[in-house]
Amino acid sequence: MSRSANWLQRIHMRLRASYGDASFTAGFFATETLTLTPTDVITNFEFGCGENNQGTFDGFAGLLGLARDPVSIIEQARPSMADTSHTAFLVQLAAPESALYGINITGISVGGNPLSIPSTVFSNAGAIIDSGTTFTYLPPTAYTALQSAFKEAMANYTSAPPALPLDTCYDFSMLSDITVPAITFSFDGPINVDLDVSGMFYVLDPSLVCLAFVANNADTDTVIYGNTQQRTFEVIYDVPGGQIGFGAQGCS
């Protein structure tokens, strides 16, 4: 039987997966043999093949599933340990209530100054880290504080129209150098993670560069720590150890 015929037999069903930023993919759910190295081979590896990808997926080849879920590559590969010896930051995972990875955010700083955000804002909403959501979604109270402090620090730069859902945007097209305030996320530990500049902005065009954060509808909505804020970090999912590591300058 031909290779293509074998492939068709391994297609299970049509699927649709949606994400917190309203992006979605629709296509087929299938199995195949996945070879990571000559000695690391996963037979009957289950994965999705998207045919209709909408939202913030432009320019991406796909998503690597890292959830606490039977079809994630973590669970299918059944890792016994993760190497965190070279990871600068370690964040303890919240107790699993679903396939998602719960984290405990305790505060945000801009330019080294902690924002005045009540501690209950993050604890009441709860937070997850999601490599499949582009932006970080914050409680309105936290977002307003972040936006206000960031705008104040960037007052000398030319603003640009919003690019929804992003509403704090700048025109850097005539500039060769910019100075931006540091944004630091504090996690229960205590652990502080300084975002890279590429983790602060979403660049649509040099004339439209937006702060890569979005306000949730309510303070009680779950906070999502998105993939833009994870840029340049080596993010290690130590599932057996119940922790996530952020290695600074792990990727460039």
Per-residue model confidence as pLDDT tens digits over 54-70: 887 777 778 787 777 78
What is the C-alpha to C-alpha distance for residues 120 and 80, in angstroms, rounded to an integer?
36
Residue 244: predicted pLDDT: 84
Tokens of 64: 């690597």
The closest alpha carbon to 3, from 33, 37, 42, 39, belongs to 33
pTM score > 0.85 for this model?
A: no
* Record: fold of 89-247: Cathepsin D, subunit A; domain 1 (2.40.70)
The residues spanned by each domain of the chain are 3-63, 89-247
Question: Which residue blocks in 12-163 are alpha helix, DSSP H?
Answer: 73-77, 119-125, 140-153
Span 16-40, average pLDDT? 84
Tokens of 243: 């922790």
Strand order in the sheet with 24-37: 11-18, 24-37, 40-54
Do β-strands 201-205 and 169-170 pair in parallel, antiparallel, or remain unpaired?
unpaired
Confidence check: pLDDT of 7 > 60: no
Do β-strands 127-129 and 223-225 pair in parallel, antiparallel, or remain unpaired?
parallel
Confidence check: pLDDT of 79 > 60: no
The closest alpha carbon to 142, from 229, 245, 221, 209, belongs to 221
Q: Which of 50-59, 68-77, 165-174 has the highest mean pLDDT?
A: 165-174
Residue 129: predicted pLDDT: 92
Confidence check: pLDDT of 101 > 80: yes
Span 18-40, average pLDDT? 84
Could you give the C-alpha distances from 42 to 13, 33, 171, in angstroms and in order? 20, 6, 47
